[in-house]
Amino acid sequence: MNMQIFTKAQFEHPKATTETDTNQKIDQTVLDIIHKVRQNSDQALFQYTEKFDGIQLEQLRVSKAEINEAQSLVSPTFMKAIQKAQQNITEFHEAQQEKSWYIRRDEGVTLGQQVRPLDRVGIYIPGGKAAYPSTVLMNAIPAKIAGVQNIAITTPPQTDGTVNPHVLVAASLAGIDRIYKIGGAQAIAALAYGTETIPKVDKIVGPGNAFVARAKKWVFGDVAIDMIAGPSEICVVADETAPVRFVAADLLSQAEHDEDATAICITFSEQIAKSIQAEVDQQLKQLDRTDIATASIQKNGKIIVVDTLDDAFELVNDIAPEHLQLMIQNASDHTASVKHAGAIFLGNYSPEPLGDYMAGPNHTLPTSGTAKFASPLGVYDFLKKSSIIHYSENALQQEANYIQTIANMEELTGHSNAIKVRFSPE
């Protein structure tokens, strides 16, 4: 199956819709799950685990013995790799730390901002059929650096009722031992509202399937969330200097995630486009997840031929992709042209999987065009800020008439009186 080739004029970026028939059907299930968890607590969690995962659990929390045993179940090669990833992710996110600050504007006036970590955070890690230890590190490390003291992980159990040892090792490296064998919308409900076993949290982060995403949407407001993530996306801008094999491999690295994943290439001649098209077809046959990647390419795989770099960046900024690869000459000279992208990869040797696993910047990124207003997950997502205001009596008196004038104009006489009483005789 060939990727479709378009000109810029022919291409129309599909806009994400918030209300679809699919979402409405999912919402009916999700809202029922949330209600049952709030009503029946742990009992509902055990029942849903048996219903959806086919597992009868004896306890929800992963034991210390299971965490310790995991160390012996992973290879030394994996351990070395995950420790290197931990080091890189930690180093990057430590640069994001924020501090409280104060200014003295006038005599008797001190203003500032107090920065404090959230108290409790829940991290959802997809699981069951696959394991994502990298996602554990990407979510837990910035929370730890921010200073969050209480962090819990929920993740679906494997068919034998255990949690994947690679996930447990990553959690242990990140300093987290509160791990629960719960997946799906029921895990989000448990984190949002609490059960006998799982304490309520203040914020839920982490990716998941459509049921997890919709559950996060519905509990938002009762708790904070990081984002509602959609299927993975990649946009590669490739000129004649980009090796066609590299371009095709990078497009397929995202197509294999999900049948609904999006892989787009923007290039500058029909000849390059056809070469990429043929190479994608060739490499598709070599993938373990051929069926998934093929479905993604058939549905959302596109190559767009444009005339100029300006045309390319106009398209990029309209798409606002989760992952953007600039495989063009002097790529670093063109970052200022990118207004909207979750992560920007520069050159032929900065492929997207580098960001997924090892470089250090977070791989939890805005999808579905939300890079126009959202940012990657970071330390700042686990902090909150309070304004600090201190005025002396004399400093307040200097502003009193201004405050009362505005309050009276807004007909808020109580506001005005709170100033007036401080400078009027009793």
Both tokens of residue 334?
Answer: 């063109």
Of 97, 140, 149, 90, nearest in space to 118 by CA: 149
Of 131, 230, 223, 256, nearest in space to 183 by CA: 131
What is the distance between the alpha carbons of residues 66 and 160, in angstroms, rounded to a whole number?
Answer: 13
What is the distance between the alpha carbons of residues 243 and 104, in angstroms, rounded to a whole number?
Answer: 57
Q: Which residues contact 234 (CB under 8 A, 6 or more apart)?
A: 250, 251, 253, 254, 262, 263, 264, 321, 322, 323, 324, 325, 352
Strands in 179-180's sheet, in edge-to-edge order, are 179-180, 150-154, 120-124, 203-205, 224-225
Classified as helix, coil or strand, 282 is helix
Name the maximum alpha-carbon separation found in the chain: 88
Catalytic residue among 233, 256, 279, 322: 322
Catalytic residue among 257, 323, 340, 363: 323
Q: How many CB atoms lie within 10 A of CB 257?
A: 19
> What do you get for the CA distance between the two ends of the chain, in Å?
86
322 given a catalytic annotation: yes
Are the C-beta atoms of residues 331 and 312 closer than 8 Å to each other?
no
Which amino acids are annotated catalytic?
322-323
